[in-house]
Amino acid sequence: MAYVRQDGEKPEIADSRGTRMANAPLSFCTADNRDKSAAFRANLHIWGEKWRPAPHSTWMSVQGCMPVAVSRSEKLSEKITLSLKDGEKASILLKGAALGKESDVRAAVTVEWCRPGRRKGREGVSAVIRVKTAVPCGIKELEFFTEDGQPGDVSKSCEAFHGSYGQYYWLQNIWMSTESKDRFKMAVKYASGLQEVMVPVSFKAGMGGMVAPVRQGEEKKEEEK
């Protein structure tokens, strides 16, 4: 699973009182899976926006289909060289990363939040690497190398991909040793050969009780709307 497409068909939200919201906006993100049972953990957010469950509702349901991009293959991008400095920028080409005709995607890479820090008695720098694209694509992992192309002395944590409302970016927290140099190479591992499938969704969740009723005098106003 690479990502969930935000446009197109969306599921419907309903509650036990019969109020409904069709075409709920979707937001998709992934995060590192700490138990290592999978490469990453996917999270789908369904936004109700101004919709709220009706007073006295005891459950909510989500039903419908979602357009999901899936892939069975991966590619590693070209390597680019960056410095461990706040605001350092570069671009990187992800060949065949887009859905459909496997169009190439140009990604913007930014180094953020650089801070010196020691780890196990060694000098290093903590930073956040942001990879942003204009279209959705299935970024899987960032890989780091020394300037001569060898695997870099880098600790990675808290990786996450976010996508919603035309914003698609991958964030990677890193700690990098600075005992040699403050420059490094980076490449992006991403899904290729994407295909879209429609995934049916149908589940119901209890409220842990009931939605609190509106205050006296406000219930009539709600009915008049």
| Domain residue spans of the chain | 3-71+197-224, 73-193
Does residue 135 contact residue 165 with C-beta atoms inside 8 Å?
Answer: no
Length of the chain: 225
Q: What is the mean pLDDT of residues 154-177?
A: 73
Q: What is the tens place of the pLDDT at every residue in 43-53?
A: 677 776 678 88
- Please give the CATH topology (third level) of the domain spanning 73-193: Immunoglobulin-like (2.60.40)
Q: State the average pLDDT for the chain.
A: 78
pLDDT band per the 50, 70, 90 thresholds, residue 153: confident
Q: Say what the pLDDT of residue 89 is.
A: 94
Residues in CB range of 155: below 8 A, 6 or more apart: 119, 174, 175, 176
Give the percent of the chain with pLDDT over 70. Answer: 76
Tell me how far apart the alpha carbons of residues 160 and 157 are, in angstroms, rounded to a whole number: 9
Least reliable range by pLDDT among 36-50, 84-98, 116-130, 162-176 = 36-50
Check if the beta carbon of residue 55 is closer than 8 Å to that of residue 214. Answer: yes
Taking alpha carbons only, the member of 94, 105, 133, 102 closest to residue 195 is 102
pLDDT of residue 212: 61
Is the pTM for the entire model greater than 0.75? no
Residue 191 has pLDDT above 80, yes or no: yes
Instruction: Pull the structure tokens for residue 178.
Output: 């600075």
Residue 222 has a pLDDT of 45
Query: Rounded to whole angstroms, how far apart are CA atoms 116 and 178?
Result: 9
222 near 55, Cβ under 8 Å? Answer: yes
Instruction: Tell me the β-bridge partners of 200.
Output: 65
The pLDDT, as a whole number, for residue 136 is 82
Q: Which of 9-13, 107-111, 151-155 has the highest mean pLDDT?
A: 107-111
Confidence of residue 219 (pLDDT cuts 50, 70, 90): very low
Tokens 């190398």 correspond to 145
Q: Rg for the chain (alpha carbons), in Å?
A: 22
Using the predicted structure, report yes or no on whether residue 27 has a pLDDT greater than 60.
yes
Alpha-carbon torsion angle 21, 23, 27, 28, nearest 10? 120
**CB 162, CB 29: distance < 8 Å:** yes
Q: Give, in degrees to the nearest 5, the angle at Cα 175 between 77 and 140.
A: 30
